[in-house]
Structure 1
Amino acid sequence: MKLTIWGAAKQVTGSMHLLQLENYNILIDCGLDYEKETFQEENQYFPFDPASIDVVILTHAHIDHSGNLPTLVRLGFEGQILSTPPTADLTELLLHDSVNVFIGKQNRRPKGRRGGRSGPQPLYLQKHVNDTMDRFVTIAFHKEFRLNDNVSLTFIPVGHLLGAAAIVLTLQDKGVEKKIAFTGDIGRTNYPVLVDPEPLPQVDYLVSESTYGGRLHSTDVTLQEKLIETINESCVKYPGRLIIPAFSIGRTQALVYSLNKIFSSGLLPPVKIFVDSPLATIATDIYRKHHHLLNQESQDFYRKQGDEFEFEELSYVHDKRESQSVSNYHEPCIIISSAGMLEGGRIQDHLYYNIQNYYCTILFIGYCAKGTLGDRLLRGDPIVRLRNRDLMVYATIQKTDLLSGHGDHNDLVNTVKQQDSEKLKSVFLVHGEIKSMNMLGEALTALGYKVNLPEKGETFEL
């Protein structure tokens, strides 16, 4: 049995791991690699023949794990794609949105000499997304699913996102039973809406994410306290507005539920809240569809007070006209809009009209990659460029990690510590910056675990 790390090797994005048995090839995740500006060119080829893959197993829907599936299908993959039911629904939504992003970037490029748009063509089209979704087979958590006579699969909940799962494979390799687990992305305990990560069974090999290696989440204030403080300062004490850039899937639902608890409990006077993201609106319906998979607190709230994602102060913005009317709303308000890094979407409209507003606060609740508009605001750039204009930054910029969907260093260590160090033959660290991997690797080595930090394309005999 061979394991080759083809993505998220000493970097965060592009998760893709190939497990090769005799006459059977399993691909775990097939994500887009966003590490280079020319990411469309980087993702249009695979280091293996897509037709040689027998099955794909998907940990969760985020684009850095699912986003290149249509390219795989377009280039010849004909097998099944296995996931949990929520992951299939959210993946379909995200992949269709990715096509719109590709086409939008293509249309924004200058025209070539023959009048057409220059630059790379979209990686795939809506037709390829539809073809991809036809290959999905969904499997419930904890239900053993036999791929063939030698391989069985079990999905274990890990939080992080609705439907997110660790993959546990039990394999017969030349008459010897072996177990290997892929964590996907590990969530946090007590996260709004989502269940806590569950312990993994004992395995022989573990492929673990390392995003927050060496970093700890804030503990000096609770999420509710932080939101109340920020809303009070920006919308209650002063007649201003609070803009929260948020990823449409996962982060927005957690934030809306947290605000529902605050306002339904009377902890703040009423403030109008707008969710301005069509993608978030559809994703919220998917959360409602799979409500039985939300955490116990969320389900108890539903039984006592009704829909977690709907309350009096909240309005979902549906079309562009409604979105423009939000900009003309002159009362104190909260605007939740995508994209979280400010690199596109309706959030840029709200920034354009408010970045020079002294009575505006912009609260970042997620990661912003280096070089993005969000990153430039967080590092304190006094001037930013929007709609081909240089604008002074007069708005207040704040950040909190209390809505991060990733477990921190201690959470990652505790996940591995569930494994007996004498029985676990190796831990492979992926999905993290090199510094984070090194710090997590050192901590695990000190605990007696054998740790590998694979290079891209490195193969291991298991």
Structure 2
Amino acid sequence: MKLTILGAAEQVTGSMHLVQLKNYNILIDCGLDYEKDTFQRENLYFPFDPASIDVVILTHAHIDHSGNLPTLVRMGFNGQILCTPPTADLTNLLLLDSVNIFLSKQNRQPRSRKHRSGPEPLYLQKHVRETAERFITVDFNKEFRINDQLSLTFIPVGHLLGAAAVVLTVNENGLTKKIAFTGDIGRKNYPLLVDPQPIPQVDYLVSESTYGGRFHNNDTTLEQKLIETINESCIKFPGRLIIPAFSIGRTQALAYALNKIFSKKLLPPVKVFIDSPLASSATEIHHQYAHYLNKEAQDFYKSQHGQSEFKELSYVHDKRESTSISNYHEPCIIISSAGMLEGGRIQDHLYYNIQNYYCTILFIGYCAKGTLGNRLLRGDPIIRLRNRDLMVYATIKQTDLLSGHGDHNDLVNTVKQQDPKTLKRVFLVHGDIECLHNLSAVLEQDYQVDIPKKGDTYEL
């Protein structure tokens, strides 16, 4: 058995790993790489023949894990894509949204009469439809036999509805070997989602490292933080609170937390706008798979007669409604995508409010280097938007209480559930260099740890 690390090596995005058995090739995830200036080249060309891949196994729907699947299909992949049922539906939503983003970027490029245009989209809607036809869904904790030498089991890890660690059992040359891929590990007591479940004993583990050496703030609760921020932004001062949030996962968790706050009357009523058609569709999928949510969420929604909406909440459906929010002069909360400010309706709200002293922008998730969100978080006094330089007068805040990633302790505990006598090797991926080395420094006391470079191959 060979393992080749093809993505998220010494960086966060672009997850993609190749497991090669005799006459059978398995790809674990096929995500978009956001972190290079050469975005098109990085994502258009694979270091293998796509037609040579027999099966793809998808850990969860986020674009850095799923976003290049249609390119793989377009370039010749003809096999099945195995994932959990919620992951299949959420991935389809996100891939269709990616097409819209590609086309939007192309249309924004300056053009001459004949020749100049933006980059060609990596894929189109027809390629997404072809990709969706390849999904085969497998539920959690049920062994699925792929062929005589290979089976898989999905283990729930929180992080996102349907997200899973992948455990592969390989029978090769009379020996049985097990290798697990954590995908992205969630955190305990996260709104809506189940706690991560321990990964069974394996021989090899490929682990994410996003929060290596970083710790979540436990000094306050999410409810307390939101109450404090809303009170300062919208009640003490009649301003507006803008929250950039990923449409799938983060927005639903945030809406759930706000629902509990206003249902308990812990704050005076404040209008809440969710300005993302994608978030609206994702919320419907969360309703469809409500039995995948944690017990607290299921019990709360039962007490609300199955409704996730609340009196103060409004979903914004079309562009006209979105534009009209600029003329809403009462205090309000605006939740919009994308979470890193790279495209989406959030840029409209940013454009009209970044120079507003009575506006607060609250980041609730990770912003990759080079993104507009990252520039605001590092304190840039001027940002460039719509070909204009805009002074930053709005208040910029951040909390990691809605981060879907487990922190350093969660990652260490995930690995240390493995018996050092059984686990032969740990491969750390999906993390910045510093995070990778911080996590490795702790784990290497008990395990053999590797930090692969992109393209590194290991005989297992």
Per the normalisation by structure 2, the TM-score is 0.98
Stretch moving more, 383-392 or 98-107: 383-392
Letter in 2 for 1:15: S
Question: 1:453 matched to which residue of 2?
Answer: 451
Give the whole-Å Cα distance in 2 for the aligned partners of 1:249 and 1:427.
30
Give the whole-Å Cα distance in 2 for the aligned partners of 1:442 and 1:80.
38
**Cα 1:367–1:423, aligned 2, differ >3 Å: closer, same or farther?**
same
Shift of residue 307, structure 1, vs aligned partner: 4.0
2:202 aligned with 1:203, yes or no? yes
Give the whole-Å Cα distance in 1 for the aligned partners of 2:389 and 2:121.
30
Tell me the alpha carbon deviations over residues 4-48 of structure 1, each in whole angstroms, 9 at most, x when there is no partner.
111111111111111011111111001111111221221111101
Give the whole-Å Cα distance in 2 for the aligned partners of 1:461 and 1:443.
25
Tell me the alpha carbon deviations over residues 251-310 of structure 1, each in whole angstroms, 9 at most, x when there is no partner.
000000000000000100110000001111111111111110001100010111234530
Tell me the alpha carbon deviations over residues 26-73 of structure 1, each in whole angstroms, 9 at most, x when there is no partner.
110011111112212211111011111110000000111111111111
Tell whether the 8 Å contact from 2:365 to 2:400 is kept in structure 1 after alignment.
yes
Question: 1:289 matched to which residue of 2?
Answer: 288
Shift of residue 384, structure 1, vs aligned partner: 1.9
Map 1:309-388 to 2 at 5 A.
Answer: 309-388=308-387
**Cα 1:450–1:363, aligned 2, differ >3 Å: closer, same or farther?**
same
Shift of residue 103, structure 1, vs aligned partner: 1.0
Tell me the alpha carbon deviations over residues 309-333 of structure 1, each in whole angstroms, 9 at most, x when there is no partner.
3000000000011111111110111
Superposition RMSD in Å: 1.0
Tell whether the 8 Å contact from 2:35 to 2:369 is kept in structure 1 after alignment.
no
Q: Match of 1:384, SS?
A: strand
**Structure 1 residue ranges without an equivalent (≥5):** none
Shift of residue 355, structure 1, vs aligned partner: 1.3
Percent identity over the alignment is: 78
Letter in 2 for 1:39: F
Tell whether the 8 Å contact from 1:170 to 1:177 is kept in structure 2 after alignment.
yes
**Structure 2 residue ranges without an equivalent (≥5):** none
Give the whole-Å Cα distance in 2 for the aligned partners of 1:458 and 1:116.
40
Map 1:37-436 to 2 at 5 A.
Answer: 37-112=37-112, 114-307=113-306, 309-436=308-435
Letter in 1 for 2:252: Q
Q: Match of 2:322, SS?
A: helix
Give the whole-Å Cα distance in 2 for the aligned partners of 1:117 and 1:186.
43
Tell me the alpha carbon deviations over residues 81-123 of structure 1, each in whole angstroms, 9 at most, x when there is no partner.
00000000010001111111111111111214x5244343111
Letter in 2 for 1:97: D
Shift of residue 154, structure 1, vs aligned partner: 0.5
2:22 aligned with 1:22, yes or no? yes
Shift of residue 385, structure 1, vs aligned partner: 2.3
Give the whole-Å Cα distance in 1 for the aligned partners of 2:306 and 2:26.
40
Letter in 2 for 1:6: L
Tell whether the 8 Å contact from 1:142 to 1:155 is kept in structure 2 after alignment.
yes
Give the whole-Å Cα distance in 2 for the aligned partners of 1:341 and 1:407.
19
Give the whole-Å Cα distance in 1 for the aligned partners of 2:153 and 2:329.
52
**Cα 1:140–1:332, aligned 2, differ >3 Å: closer, same or farther?**
same
Tell whether the 8 Å contact from 2:108 to 2:118 is kept in structure 1 after alignment.
no
Tell whether the 8 Å contact from 2:157 to 2:165 is kept in structure 1 after alignment.
yes
In the TM superposition, structure 1's runs of 4+ consecutive aligned residues that sit over 3 Å from their partners are: none
Letter in 1 for 2:88: A
Aligned length: 460
Q: Match of 2:444, SS?
A: helix
Give the whole-Å Cα distance in 2 for the aligned partners of 1:415 and 1:210.
11
Give the whole-Å Cα distance in 2 for the aligned partners of 1:108 and 1:391.
19
Tell whether the 8 Å contact from 2:105 to 2:118 is kept in structure 1 after alignment.
no
Give the whole-Å Cα distance in 2 for the aligned partners of 1:381 and 1:27.
40
Letter in 1 for 2:47: P
